[in-house]
Amino acid sequence: MNGWNELVGDTDEATREFLQRYGFDAERFEALRARVRAGAESATNHLRGELAPVASDELTALPDTASRDHAELRREGEEAIRAGRVGVLMLAGGMATRFGAVVKALAPAYGGRSFLDIKLDDARIVAAALGARVPVLIMSSFATHEALLGALPAPSASLPIEVFPQEVSLRVTPSGELHRDAAGALSPYATGHGDLTFALRRSGALARFVAGGGELLLMSNVDNLVASLDPAVIGAHLRSGRALTVEVTPKYAGDQGGIPLAVDGRAQVVEAFRLPPTFDQDSVPVFNTNTMVLDARAIDRDFDLDWFVVQKQVDGARVVQFERLVGQITAHLPTHFLVVPREGSGCRFAPIKTPEDLALQRELIETALQRATVP
């Protein structure tokens, strides 16, 4: 690449190959860190516009599992899955430092199975019950890609699996210079789940999914085991007529995350750090679970997503990195907000961030997983 050393410093061939393999954009990186050098990082993340809670009719509750409405939605979703229109999409780029610095997707969860095993089993059970083909797409990162490839089960016609990597970038100092560790090495990081649509397209995974008859993707974090391939959720998305469905759930004290808001009249997910201090976050009773149903053709485009400034401590040093958020695509697509339970057998939000969470939520998760095995 012309001017590479001028942009990212003197790098060896192996480092260049690594960065290029994972989609590093040196020119964009230079433009982003120029903002830090100019002292603009303090204003980068502020949201502008008129903010208000979304209208109550914008929040649709997933019907109780024993209701007729739920049965109808389930039937519609099963038809779509049986027709090969639905795939599963996992976000699995993270390392689990609190699980011993291992690939989070491969960390032990329950019954000797990893997070990845359990998520794959869910898709496999649904595929078998409906006699369907359910493609699985997994977004990795430079830190997890090879390990995930090595952990995949044998290929299956009913459960084809593809792993594709998100992008990589380099951390900088608060003054905008390249951050290096004690040995002088550069400090790479994955640039956030906002890479999703870009990585799907760059890898060709999205095009292959659509070419195979795929239309909808159920996206979830690999550590949210109860975000199963529920046909009723697919049915609710289809009935909404929107390009995107975001699952939201009741907030508990201390919960942090994106919330559905009307920004200049347009309903979308807004992360808490973007809100002005005068906005009452408690006026919105639900928040984003980061589980979505995506229309594959609607996301086959370039989205103008912001690069947010994130300050971190790495090896005792304060660093700056730039990240995108997948929730921001709600500002560009008609979005349906589906309120899902976080308790009981219908629970769809129980993320595991620490080993202690595995013990605390074992009964809840196992109940939900047993529910998912019933055709």
The CATH number of the domain where 338 resides is what?
Answer: 3.90.550.10
* Model confidence pLDDT, tens digit, residues 41-70: 555 577 888 999 998 888 999 999 899 999
Residue 3, domain member (yes or no)? no
Angle in degrees, CA 287, 292, 296, rounded to 5: 150
- Section 257-263 average pLDDT: 93
The reply to whether 6 falls in a domain is no
Helix 68-82 / helix 231-240 crossing angle, nearest 10 deg? 90
pLDDT category, 181, cuts 50, 70, 90?
Answer: confident
Structural domain range at position 277: 50-372
| Confidence at residue 357, expressed as pLDDT on a 0 to 100 scale | 87
Three-state secondary structure call for residue 246: strand
Q: Is residue 226 part of a domain?
A: yes
List, for residues 335-371, the tens digit of each pLDDT value: 999 999 998 878 999 988 888 888 888 888 888 777 6
According to DSSP, the β-strands at 266-270 and 108-110 are: unpaired
In a domain, 139, yes or no: yes
CB 270 within 8 A of CB 51: yes
Q: Is the pTM for the entire model greater than 0.75? A: yes
Instruction: Give the pLDDT score at 10.
Output: 63
113 falls within a domain: yes
Burial code (b: 16+ CB inside 10 Å, e: under 16) for 7-16 equals bbeebeeebb
Q: Let me know if residue 338 belongs to a domain.
A: yes
Q: Comparing 7 with 90, which gets the higher pLDDT? A: 90
Say what the pLDDT of residue 374 is.
44
Mean pLDDT within 269-290: 90
Match 């739920």 to its residue by tokens. 70
- Mean pLDDT value across residues 309-321: 90
The type of residue at 15 is T
Q: In this structure, what are the phi and psi dihedrals at residue 7, rounded to the nearest 5 degrees?
A: -90, -45
In a domain? residue 18: no
Contacts for 340 with CB less than 8 Å, ≥ 6 apart:
62, 233, 247, 248, 249, 289, 291, 346, 348, 349
Q: Look at residue 314 and give its three-state secondary structure.
A: strand
| % of the chain with per-residue pLDDT over 90 | 69
When the pLDDT of each residue in the chain is averaged and rounded to a whole number, the result is 90
- How many domains is the chain built from? 1
Evaluate whether residue 25 is within a structural domain. Answer: no
